[in-house]
A = this chain, B = another copy of it.
């Protein structure tokens, strides 16, 4: 009987952990949507869509607070150890980054509110869209690696950040040239530059999420470890 009761409790516990994981993925889904909307609002100068991103950010924040609370309760009630505890720790860290990605998406949307359709900067918008697509894919794959607890996939995503950095540097150089040639464009060009910067940071945060997945699988903290060293470990 005791054994049955034990397995019953552990089934409940498993269900709770699964539930937390689902909540993280739901939060991730909302953040992905916010990011997609922010980028298209900027690129298409769609101020209604931009407003929607800004007013929806509170939902992301509320999800973070709820999941944090859920994790605290699980720790207090279930006293998780080993991989269960690592899952909870990964969740706590992951949702912090997801919330901040939501903030960056909101920043991009706010830039979109300042920018009206601007033919001069059309080439830069294409670049913003490219960087945007890269980081959207990174975020999507990072959440996928989290869902499947797949360290190899997580490492592959982390490697893609290099591409984002290269594109970010290219667009920065373009915008500087642009501003120097036409100083009146400076305020508008800076809006595009801030957006590029926000997207670049989202790439960094997607890498953070990947590092938590690797920690979850391997049980060791791999933040601040080079990609080369990480690769040897997997």
Contacts and interface: CB of A to CB of B under 8 A. Distances in A.
Main secondary structure of the interface of A (DSSP, over half): helix
Given A176-B187, A179-B186, A187-B176, A223 B72 contact: no
Interface in A171-216: 176, 179-181, 183-184, 186-187, 190
Contacts of A64: 223
Can you tell how many copies of this chain the complex includes? 2
B58 A72 contact: no
A96 B187 CA distance: 33
A85 B71 CA distance: 11
26 contacts: A61-B223, A62-B224, A64-B223, A65-B221, A65-B223, A68-B89, A68-B221, A69-B221, A72-B85, A72-B86, A72-B89, A75-B80, A75-B85, A76-B80, A76-B82, A79-B79, A89-B92, A92-B92, A96-B96, A176-B187, A176-B190, A179-B183, A179-B186, A180-B183, A180-B186, A181-B183
Given A68-B221, A92-B92, 11 more contacts: A61-B223, A64-B223, A65-B221, A68-B89, A72-B86, A72-B89, A75-B85, A93-B96, A176-B186, A179-B179, A183-B183
